[in-house]
Amino acid sequence: MEKIFLVSLLVLLVSASAHGIAENIYDDIAMLGELEDLKLEEENEIQEKVFEIPGWTSERGGKTLFNVDSFGAIGDGIADDTQAFVSAWDKACLTTKSVFLVPAGGRYLVNATRFRGPCADRLIIQIDGTIVAPGEPNNWDPNNPRTWLQFSKLNAVIFQGSGVIDGSGSKWWDASCKRNKSNPCRGAPTALTIDSSSAVRVKDLTIQNSQQMHFVISHSDSVRVSNVLVSAPGTSPNTDGIHITGSTNVVLQDCKIGTGDDCISIVNASSAIRMKKIYCGPGHGISIGSLGKDNSIGIVTKVVLDTALLRQTTNGLRIKTWQGGSGYVRSVRFENVRMDEVENPIIIDQFYCDSPKACKNQTSAVEISQIMYRNISGTTTSQKAMKFACSDTVPCNRIVLSNINLERKDGTVETYCNSATGFGIGNVQPSADCLNSSNKDTHSDHDQTKDAHLIKFSREEIIHTEL
């Protein structure tokens, strides 16, 4: 199957390059090879990287338990349990094979707290109860304006449990300038942050109603998140689900995310990010970016999304960059994605402007190339089911579309291109012909008969290739 796909692409590339569509066929073949190689790491590989502990209840290994209740936590949702958490953490962190336990049944009110490592080996953070944030923005700790529960400098730890991390965000949402223009635009805390850490496993937790972003993975390596549920109302402003920044080798698997902003956002200095079996909705979709704000450098490479369902989201698969930025987004593959009533199922937006003031067009931009969309189908609510809105001065290139089928209940759909090149293979609906010209003049009809002939020729080659 995979082989046939590659061979058929090669055939298309040969025909395309023969009349100057692809500038350098060897580069393109290498690029497709690279995209094919972007495989999800097997469950076991990462598990091994973290360490082989099935769960803290297992008798093996003689773990020491640090239950927050034993450190004075009340867990009634009213008493301030911050100090109990800090004391339990300090002890757990110093002890080898320990379990920091938030027991089931309790509702623990905890202020903004930094849980710092490094810790002794084999720490498990077991959250079975509910941790809630104080809900009043006016009383928030001014020393931690952007974080609530922040974990940093950890190596080889597991966060797990059937518990809930609840940001009590409703008053923060009301105070947002997105909700009420007369409010000042201020940042709000992220519910859970894992920063400057490596070999981290996060599983089974629920993170909900965050003040702003729900779960940030920053400056970390080898992080695997599975079976995590993220939930907030579709109307809550800037409540991204999982946000990845400055991180490498991150796997998100079997996650269900519904929020008022991006379900997943991947930003600067992130590479080797794999997402598998993701449910998204409501929300703004799965995004790379935004990148390049305030003329900054943005670099994101090697991202794979395999198997996702997006339901009633504003965007599906999105890459968003600001005018005036620099850097690049390269080697991205989105595949096996089902869309249900998504406004912009496939979108590259190099004119992103999330600001009260209009943004000017600039000559510099974050360069976008080697982006593959494969087996993407479902329904859209807008006419422009695919949008490739790229910078006039820094075009998007090597966009590959394969087996795309996007439809609208009442109306036709089309593809919009500005300064984007690439090609389609197999069934691509709506047609992406506007990609194959090398400039924004999408309707020039030069060499059309020759093109048609070459395409027909290559289709026959594909059919006759037996592998």
Ligand X SMILES: *[C@@H]1O[C@H](CO)[C@@H](O)[C@H](O)[C@H]1NC(C)=O
Cβ distance to ligand X smaller for residue 381 or 431: 431
CA distance 96 to 161: 20
Nearer to ligand X, 156 or 342 (CB): 342
Stretch that binds ligand X, among 47-55, 178-186, 271-279, 312-320 (CB under 6 A): 178-186
Considering only residues 451, 459, 461, 462, which one is a binding residue for ligand X as defined by CB under 6 A?
451
Draw the binding track, 413-432, toward ligand X (x: CB under 6 A; -: no contact): -----x----xx--------
Q: Of the candidates 58, 182, 412, 449, which one interacts with ligand X according to CB under 6 A?
A: 182
Write the DSSP assignment of 192-253 as a string of letters: EEEES-EEEEEES-EEES-SS-SEEEES-EEEEEES-EEE--TTSTT--SEEEES-EEEEEE
Quote the least distance from Cβ 381 to ligand X, whole Å: 19
* Strand, helix or coil for residue 421: strand
Instruction: Check binding of 461 to ligand X (CB under 6 A).
Output: no
Q: Which of 279, 160, 146, 296 is nearest to 224 (CA)?
A: 160
Least distance to ligand X from the beta carbon of 40, Å? 14
Applying CB under 6 A, which part among 158-166, 185-193, 212-220, 331-339 lies near ligand X? Answer: 331-339
369 vs 419: CA distance, rounded Å: 12
**Residue 255, token pair as written in the block:** 């996650």
Nearer to ligand X, 227 or 437 (CB): 437
284 is annotated as an active-site residue: yes
CB of 318 to ligand X, least distance (A): 18
Distances (CA, A) of 120 to 34, 95, 98, 117, 154: 39, 6, 8, 8, 9
**260 contacts 241 by C-beta, under 8 angstroms:** no
- What are the backbone angles phi and psi of residue 179, rounded to the nearest 5°? -85, -35
Rank residues 160 and 176 by Cβ distance to ligand X and give the closer one: 176
Of 144-152, 180-188, 201-209, 248-256, the window that binds ligand X (rule: CB under 6 A) is 180-188
We find the least distance from the C-beta atom of residue 339 to ligand X, in angstroms, to be 10
Of residues 259, 247, 187, 258, the one with CA closest to residue 217: 247
Q: At its nearest, how many Å lie between ligand X and the CB of residue 442?
A: 7
Among the candidate windows 50-58, 89-97, 296-304, 406-414, which touches ligand X by CB under 6 A? 296-304
Least distance to ligand X from the beta carbon of 314, Å?
Answer: 20
Decide if residue 6 touches ligand X (CB under 6 A).
no
Distance in angstroms (rounded) separating the CA atoms of residues 434 and 440: 8
- Rounded to whole angstroms, how far apart are CA atoms 342 and 413? 13
Tell the smallest beta-carbon distance from residue 431 to ligand X (Å). Answer: 8
Radius of gyration of the chain (CA): 24
Write out the binding residues for ligand X, residues 183-202 only, by CB under 6 A: 183
Q: Write the CA distances from 274 to 62, 201, 320, 341, 438, integer angstroms.
A: 34, 14, 19, 25, 31
The counts of H helices and E strands in the chain are 6, 30
Point out which residues pair with 417 in neighbouring strands: 388
In terms of CB distance, is 104 or 309 closer to ligand X? 309
The Cα–Cα gap between 408 and 382 comes to 7
Report the alpha-carbon distance of residue 267 to residue 293 in Å, rounded.
Answer: 11
Size of the residue set binding ligand X (CB under 6 A) = 29
Polymer length of the chain: 467
Query: Binding residue for ligand X (CB under 6 A) from 117, 299, 407, 408?
Result: 299
Nearer to ligand X, 27 or 48 (CB): 27
Site string for ligand X, 19-58 (x = CB under 6 A): ----------------------------------------
Catalytic residue among 219, 284, 443, 453: 284
Q: Which of residues 354-373 bind ligand X (CB under 6 A)?
A: 361
When the beta carbons of 157 and 371 are compared against ligand X, the nearer one is 371
**170 lines the binding site for ligand X (CB under 6 A):** no
Which residues inside 213-272 make contact with ligand X, applying CB under 6 A? Answer: 268-269
**Interface with ligand X includes 83 (CB under 6 A)?**
yes
Q: Which residues in the 138-167 window bind ligand X by CB under 6 A?
A: 139
Task: Report if residue 392 touches ligand X, rule: CB under 6 A.
Answer: yes
Options 63-71, 142-150, 205-213, 291-299: segment touching ligand X (CB under 6 A): 291-299
Report how far apart, in Å, the C-alpha atoms of 80 and of each of 68, 69, 83, 84, 163 are. Answer: 12, 12, 8, 9, 18
Rounded to whole angstroms, the Cα distance separating 169 from 189 reads 9
Distance CA 368, CA 398 (A): 9
Instruction: Give the residue numbers marked as catalytic.
Output: 284
**Under the rule (CB under 6 A), what is the footprint of ligand X?**
80, 82-83, 111, 139, 180, 182-183, 268-269, 296-297, 299, 307, 336-338, 351, 361, 375, 392, 418, 423-424, 433, 436, 448, 451, 455
